[in-house]
Amino acid sequence: MQLIIVGTLNGQIGAASQIAIKRGAKVQQADTLEDGLDLLRRSGADLVMIDVGLEVADFMAAIEAERINVPVVACGVSNDTQAAVRAVRAGAKEYVPLPPDPELIAAVLEAVTEDQHALIFKDPKMAETVKMATQIAPSEASVLITGPSGTGKEVLAHYLHSKSKRKDRRFVAVNCAAIPENLLESELFGHEKGAFTGAVARRIGKFEEADGGTLLLDEISEMDVRLQSKLLRVLQEREVDRIGSNKPVQVNVRIIATSNRNMEQTVKEGGFREDLYFRLNVVNLRLPSLAERPGDVMPLASHFAAKYADANDVHNKPISEDAQKKLMAYSWPGNVRELENTMHRAVLLATGDEIDAAAILLTNEDSAAAGTGAHGGGDDGAQALVGRTVAEVERELIIDTLQHCLGNRTHAANILGISIRTLRNKLKQYGNEGFNIPSPGDASQAGV
């Protein structure tokens, strides 16, 4: 969880931060409203705690104007009741009195985490997986979660942690596929100052960071075989060796790993150590693809529609019958992640009292068969693209989406289904080429 604290909290920043950090949050702090907004725009957050002595109403108005959807909790001395009432009326979700109470802050953090990682399902096939997850969650066994990309493996990992005996300690996630091999070892195990060029200070690795809690090794099948042997030793000995140190550090973590590969086949082909596979695969939870769990399509679609209506401050519209048929007829190769992006777009594109079939834009080829009767004119839309380069169409889509989101990079990236880093690189390129890029909060026309 990413937490931003805005203000001085009457000198209680340190205490509040330590409580949040122990509960698994990553904390950033800004002294002023302006700095807090800038931090929120740049890095995003799951929760904001704001000093009730600041102009909470101005902060809430600013994030609403920029369509930044983040829960805000006001904090202040317990006798400042009028300020507390003003903060809640301005839109703060809760009021937390200072000095901070560990249990109260823990409850707030847990509520936010549960909301963000809610398991939405009705299909019997998914219900079987969740039932098994609930049964084994209190154990200390390592768990390997497998399934196609976009099925919600990290969400299930959060669920396991929330139902475990370690739920009050940290949940730390490492994406093994996103970190270069030469950096992943340091990321996992840490290093000492001077261990290698650029190691200017000691760094605590993710194993130590997750001590007492849960460590998620996301897409572990992408880890280099050389590093797999070091990981196996850590799991066997329950201790890590920081790079550049000869003093092992004891660690107590529960491991959850995920993979979208056929692990047995990967082991057979030599891409993954068999002994490590057996160490991790004490319990295997397989997440079915969305095509295998059709009973979850509409509950998830309704959930995402409500979520993004709230995020974009628009009315939560029902999904029309034609739109439902279109959603149910599609094969969802991108699984739940693709459905989420589809419904985010639909919320923004819907023009009537319902989310109709015309607002459901599907990207795979078989979407044409699913939606031909629902919105004629598909040929006209394709015809309008003839003669234009892919780069031109992509640029126009990105800038138009950013304009619609009033310059909010995080929301635009979510709608487009790309990472915030990719979006920023594209925008930098377009800016260098002379195109007008909407700034956060900019409602002016984008010059494309």
CB count in 10 Å sphere of residue 182: 10
Q: Is 275:228 a contact under the CB 8 Å cutoff?
A: no
Q: Residue 378: its pLDDT value, please?
A: 43
In this prediction, residue 353 carries a pLDDT of 93
For residues 155-167, average pLDDT:
92
| 225-251: average pLDDT | 93
pLDDT tens digit string along 247-267? 899 999 999 999 999 999 999
Lowest mean pLDDT among 218-232, 333-347, 410-424, 430-444: 430-444
Radius of gyration of the chain (CA): 24
What percent of the chain has pLDDT above 90?
A: 42
- pLDDT (0 to 100) of residue 67: 65
Residue type, 270: G
Q: What is the DSSP string of 279-303?
A: HHTTEEEEPPPGGG-GGGHHHHHHH
Give CATH superfamily name and number for 124-288: P-loop containing nucleotide triphosphate hydrolases (3.40.50.300)
Region label for 364, one of left (φ > 0), alpha (ψ between -120 and 50) or beta (otherwise): beta
Q: What's the pLDDT score for residue 212?
A: 92
pLDDT digits (tens, 9 = 90+) for 169-194: 888 889 898 788 878 999 999 988 88
For the chain, the structural domain boundaries read 2-115, 124-288, 291-383
pTM over 0.75: no
More confident of the two residues 421 and 225: 225
Burial 373-399 (b: 16+ CB within 10 A, else e): ebbeeeeeeeeeeeeeeeeeeebeebb
137-146, 208-217, 412-421, range with the lowest pLDDT: 412-421
Is the pLDDT reported for residue 442 higher than 70? no
Q: Identify the pLDDT of residue 370.
A: 39
Higher pLDDT, 145 or 362: 145
State residue 375's pLDDT score. Answer: 40
Q: State how far the Cα of 189 lies from the Cα of 176, in Å rounded to an integer.
A: 13
Share of the chain above pLDDT 70, in %: 90
Give pLDDT tens digits for 295-328.
Answer: 999 999 999 999 888 777 788 999 999 999 999 9
- 365 falls in which pLDDT band (50, 70, 90)? very low
Note the pLDDT tens digit of each residue in 374-392.
344 444 444 556 666 777 7
Of 285, 173, 188, 196, nearest in space to 229 by CA: 188
Architecture in CATH for domain 291-383: Orthogonal Bundle (1.10)
- Longest C-alpha distance within the chain, in Å? 69
Which distant-in-sequence residues (6+ apart) come within 8 Å of 102 by Cβ? 19
DSSP letter string over 328-356?
Answer: HHS--TTHHHHHHHHHHHHHHH--SSSB-
pLDDT for 144 equals 98
Model confidence at 114, pLDDT cuts 50, 70, 90, reads: low
Q: What b/e readout covers 70-106, taking b as 16+ CB neighbours within 10 angstroms?
A: bbbbbbbbeebeebbebbeebbbbbbbbbebeeeebb
CATH class given for the domain over 2-115: alpha beta
Summarised one tens digit per residue, pLDDT across range 411-429 is 778 778 787 778 888 898 8
Tell me whether domains 2-115 and 124-288 share a fold. Answer: yes
What average pLDDT does the chain have?
Answer: 85
